[in-house]
Amino acid sequence: MDEFMLRAIAQARQGLKEGGIPIGSVLVREGMILGQGYNKRVQDNDPVTHAEIDCLRNAGRIGSYRDTVLYSTLMPCYLCAGAVVQFGIKKVIAGEAETFSGAQAFLEANGVEVVNLDLKECKKLMRDFINKNPQLWDEDIGET
């Protein structure tokens, strides 16, 4: 597992430690981290502070995003996939898409290369959370 996915997992664990949903994200350009973040919907009482959005906010205005790679511990949802497409990010590396399939087809249909690493660690993190917090998870994915 590469250092960037490890950093995204660390971000996810930080969110869980704070009582939130364990999803983390890292934005990388040419081997350097530009931003990182985690799902803060619970902590910030903000329905759109998903991990990828928090990561992009933390990266700030970087000009073009076309030569960046977005790492996420979970396949991005449509909200986050929309941001990826809007900003022209051409590659997304997801830790897993088993617990949530996300918007992979949408990303690919819009020219984004998607790599699903199918990592046991990411799946376990999400399964454990979902089993302990099914209502919060349903809220996060808009199924309440």
Task: Kindly tell me the burial class for residue 73, based on how many C-beta atoms sit within 10 Å of its own C-beta (0-12, 13-18, 19 or more).
Answer: buried
Is 52 annotated as catalytic?
Answer: yes
Do the beta carbons of residue 125 and residue 38 sit within 8 Å? Answer: no
Residue 29: enclosing H or E segment and its boundaries? strand 24-29
Active-site position among 18, 30, 52, 143: 52
Do the beta carbons of residue 57 and residue 46 sit within 8 Å? Answer: no
Q: Which of 72, 112, 129 is nearest to 96 (CA)?
A: 72
Q: Which residues are catalytic?
A: 52
